[in-house]
Amino acid sequence: MISEVLYEHDDFLVIDKPAGIGMHQEAEQPGIVTLLSQQLGGQPLWPVHRLDKVTSGALLLAKNAEAAALLSGQFAERQVEKFYLALSDKKPNKKQGAVIGDMQKARRGQWKLLPSTLSPAISQFFSSGLGNGLRLFIIKPRTGKTHQIRVMLKSLGSANLGDSLYAGTPSDRTYLHAFALQFEYRGQQHQIVSVPRYGQYFTEARCQQALQDLLSPWQLPWPHLNLKRTAL
């Protein structure tokens, strides 16, 4: 089995995407959409958002074109709340707050954060120490820029553990996981949580115990952001 189905609706499903598989075919390696369609007996699927190849966790896919259009529109209008988990072995320059700034392509496939805010990436986060030299981040991105969270962590001085592209300490995987989604579809509220199951440090008892306090991330005291003051 390529991926576990976390939640299934007549019009969409949410899977637990493994790390190391891209969204679409790369050279001879099929993408997650093709692999999952094969796993489900040829079920047509439409991706309505994307996760980086190195990122695991909750991925929403539509089962028909109408649902794909509706759900893609909700992502575009920022009506879907997304929450991510990350680990770093480097202390951040602040333990919680927001990181806001424009992003620009850099060298070797990297992106970098700029001090300007013409069309910024916006992420809020809380972090806590796990007592073993690691820090756990829970992140609420308010936008969906390429590599947004990875660049945010690098800007905090806490590059993602295992993220070689952004100078993270080498590890068995990049420790970035799509933890939860909250959205409304045709008048019904949906809340889906994906607890990470792979990776030496995600599966350690102290990390799994810390996650028990985060299983309803939409209820955390996220400060209000006055986005009207920021050009989007």
Alpha-carbon distance values, 211 to 30, 115, 135, 159, 162 (Å): 32, 32, 12, 20, 20
Beta bridge partners of 14: 7, 60
Amino acid (1-letter code) at residue 26: E
Amino acid (1-letter code) at residue 1: M
User: Encoding tokens for residue 119?
Assistant: 């069309």
Alpha-carbon distance 182 to 168, whole Å? 29
Q: Which residue in this structure is represented by tokens 């970098």?
A: 112
Amino acid (1-letter code) at residue 217: P
User: Encoding tokens for residue 202?
Assistant: 């995600």
Q: Would you give the DSSP letter of residue 62?
A: E
Can 52 be counted among the known catalytic residues? yes
Alpha-carbon distance 43 to 38, whole Å? 7
State the DSSP H helix or E strand holding residue 86, giving kind and residue range, or none if neither: strand 81-88
DSSP string, 104-141: EE-GGG-EEE-S--SS-EEEEEEEEE-SSS-EEEEEEE
Looking at 52, 102, 172, 213, which residue is catalytic?
52
> What positions carry a catalytic annotation?
52
